[in-house]
Structure formats: C-alpha cells, structure tokens
Amino acid sequence: MDNVLEVTGLTTRFSKESGTITVVDQLDLHVKRGETLGIVGESGCGKSATSLSLMRLLDNNATLTGSIRFNGKEVLTLSEAEMRSLRGKEMAMIFQEPMHSLNPVLTIGRQISEVLHEHEGDSKAAVKQRVLDLLTVVGISRAEEIYRDYPHRLSGGMRQRVMIAMAIACNPSLLIADEPTTALDVTIQAQILNLIKKIRKDIGMSVIMITHDLGVVAEVCDRVMVMYAGQAIETADVRSLLRNPKHPYTVGLLQSTPRQRAKRLHSIKGSVPTSENKPNGCRFAPRCDRVMTICWERNPVFHPVDQHSSCRCWLFTQDKDHDQESSVVGG
C-alpha cells in the first residue's frame, strides 16, 4: 500500500508514583503518501502524546505497545541509533511553542545546519548554502542576516518558519506538526498554514496536522481523526466530517463553534474526564445527549460507518453484542 505510516493498536502509558495512566489507548491510524491527516481533540486528550509516540520522543516513564510501521519499517523495534537516523531525516516534527522550541544560545544558522551535518554530512560551505536556501524557501527574506541571528530576536511567526526550515531540511517523507499555529495570531497563522500547504506540495511529503481548531482542519487537511480521552472516536475525510459528522461529540464540537448565525450556541455539558477518572463504558457517555444504557456499560469499538468515515459509537453499531475485546485483537 501507499501508506507512509501505519499505526495499529498504539497504546501509550505513563507510569507515575500514583500508578500508570493510559493516555493513548488502542489507536489505529494511517497516513498516505502526500496526504495531510488532521488530528483534533480537546486539550489533554492525547494528541501530543500520540505524535511524540510516533517519534519515540516520550520521557523514560512512558511505555509504548502496538505497532508503528513507517515506510515499511517497524519503528518500535528500532534501536536508538537507528531511530536517530530516522528522526529529522525521514520524519520531522514542529511544535506548538515556537518561542521555546529553539535553543536560545545557538544561532539560527547553527541550529538548522546541525540537522544537515548529522544526516547528510556535506561540506561546510554546501551546508551553509543549503541553509540559506531553506530560509528563503520558508519565506525569510534577509536569510544571511537571520542565519547569524539568535532566536530571541525573531517574532513568533519567524521562529515557526525557522522550525519549518529545520524540519524540511532533509526532505522528510512525514512532517508532524503539533499545533504549529495555536500560539500565533490569525494573520500569521494564515501565513504559516499557507507555507505548510505549499511545501507539502513542493516536496510531496505527508503531514500530520495536530490542532484543536476545526477551522484549521477545514483549511489544510485531507482527512481528520477526532480524539477524545486518548481514543480515536471518528475518522473521516474532511468534507464528510464537517458536513456530516457522526459521533455526538463531533457533532457537539461543530455546533459549539461560535457563528454569527446562531443566537445561542450549542454546548456540550460537563468537561473532559481526567485520565484518572475515565468512565467504564463509552468515555463520552457522561456528556452525551443521546446516551443509551449500553453506553454506560461497554465501550464501543471503532469501525467503519460508510466509505468515508469510521466511528466509535453505539449509535452506529448494528451488532450491539459485538465483543469489543476480540474485535480489537482482530483489527
């Protein structure tokens, strides 16, 4: 298949003094070559944990199970050295906080050329030329000057451009962008989103775009996965998700987005469960308008609803006796 990334049954646990908590639970996803997958969900639902799991960048207290196949390789069994040669070269990442994601005491030039030195090993002059080119590609006009500058002198938008330059330096086949525009203003956000779209087209990479803003999803993504409390609850291509959402949570989310037309907003009652007190059955049950008895008892499985979308909800499950556990093993 033409999938850059295939993830099945990914589970991420953190062990703490108070016990282990599962922040990503039996997650399946795939990204096709050249495609942009959006992951949306509320704060704390495990979006960052997922992306860091993919790069194996989590802290030592995390355990990963399941399978992550990247370009045919099983990521979870790679040695740390092999993993290093993957990161930055084939799989790159940009983060939410451009203010904090650059080392304050190293020049921009140095931070970008590091990647090239590590993975390509070109001559110094060549690397420098490449870095300057990269800076121009991401729309920084005074490349020579910025090359020698330190991060604190740049604005948020500029820093995010630098981060992008760093990420695409080795032409990776997958770029993971973890809320790259949340900290930026609307006008700057538009610039960055445009830039990502353009670059994706130019070098033909796949992108995982993590965000909590459905607007951003609509703008740049081909497909979307909605996460709730560590689980995927719906995936669909963008159009059908926005036009025809299935899961009550997705529906609620879309309706609670402020619009001029509605006098009163729809609101989802209650708040996201913390990782310590997840309900037994469906995790959304306590907040759901259309909750049924079965919802309180068993967690539904994730399965296709139509050719465009899959969903985790008893409303769309014909066979309500379907055993959750066995299906997971099978899937």
Ligand X SMILES: Nc1ncnc2c1ncn2[C@@H]1O[C@H](COP(=O)(O)OP(=O)(O)OP(=O)(O)O)[C@@H](O)[C@H]1O
User: Which segment (46-54, 124-132, 138-146, 155-163) binds ligand X by CB under 6 A?
Assistant: 46-54
- Distance in angstroms between the alpha carbons of the first and the last residue of the chain: 17
| Binding test (CB under 8 A) with another protein, winner from 5, 27, 37, 102 | 102
By CB under 5 A, name the binding residues for Mg ion.
Answer: 48
Q: Nearer to Mg ion by C-beta: 6 or 97?
A: 97
Applying CB under 8 A, among 15, 77, 129, 257 the residue interacting with another protein is 257
Q: Is 321 in the site for another protein (CB under 8 A)?
A: no
Q: Is 223 in the site for another protein (CB under 8 A)?
A: no
202 binds, among another protein, ligand X, Mg ion, none (CB under 5 to 8 A by kind): none
Determine the interface stretch with another protein among 4-12, 92-100, 288-296, 299-307 (rule: CB under 8 A).
92-100
What are phi and psi for residue 299, nearest 5 degrees?
A: -80, 125
Partner in contact with 311, chosen from another protein, ligand X, Mg ion, none, beta carbon below 5 to 8 Å by kind: none
Tell me the site size for another protein, rule CB under 8 A. 73
> Out of 73, 201, 239, 320, which residue is the one contacting another protein (CB under 8 A)?
239
From 47-55, 121-129, 151-159, 312-320, give the range in contact with ligand X by CB under 6 A. Answer: 47-55
156 near ligand X, judged by CB under 6 A: no
Stretch 10-29 residues interacting with another protein (CB under 8 A): 17
Q: How far is CA 49 from CA 101, 221, 293, in A?
A: 17, 20, 31
According to the binding rule CB under 8 A, does residue 272 interact with another protein? yes
- Residue 43 interacts with ligand X (CB under 6 A): yes or no: yes
Positive or negative: CA dihedral 231, 236, 238, 241: negative
Please tell me the distance from the alpha carbon of residue 133 to that of residue 113, in angstroms, as a whole number.
12
CB of 58 to another protein, least distance (A): 10
91: CB partners within 8 A, 6+ apart: 54, 55, 70, 172, 173, 174, 176
Residue with Cβ nearer another protein (185 or 297)? 185
Q: Is there binding between residue 225 and ligand X (CB under 6 A)?
A: no
What is the C-alpha separation between 306 and 30, in angstroms, rounded?
17
91-94 and 174-178 strand pairing: parallel
Contacts of residue 184, defined as CB under 8 A and 6 or more positions apart, other chains included, come to: 98, 156, 157, 160, 192
Q: Which does 324 bind (CB under 5 to 8 A by kind): ligand X, another protein, Mg ion, none?
A: none
79 binds another protein (CB under 8 A): no
| Edge-first strand listing for the sheet containing 73-74 | 19-32, 3-16, 62-70, 73-74
Out of 266, 289, 297, 331, name the contact with another protein by CB under 8 A.
266
Query: What's at 40, amino acid-wise?
Result: V
Q: How far apart are CA 87 and CA 102, in angstroms?
A: 17
* DSSP result, 144-184: HHHHT--GGGS-HHHHHHHHHHHHHTT--SEEEEESTTTTS
Cβ proximity to ligand X: between 20 and 171 the closer is: 20
Q: What separation in angstroms does the CA of 223 have from each of 40, 220, 310?
A: 11, 9, 12
For the CB of residue 305, give the shortest distance to another protein in the complex, in Å: 18
| Residue ranges that bind ligand X, judged by CB under 6 A | 14, 16, 23, 41, 43-49, 59, 61, 212, 275
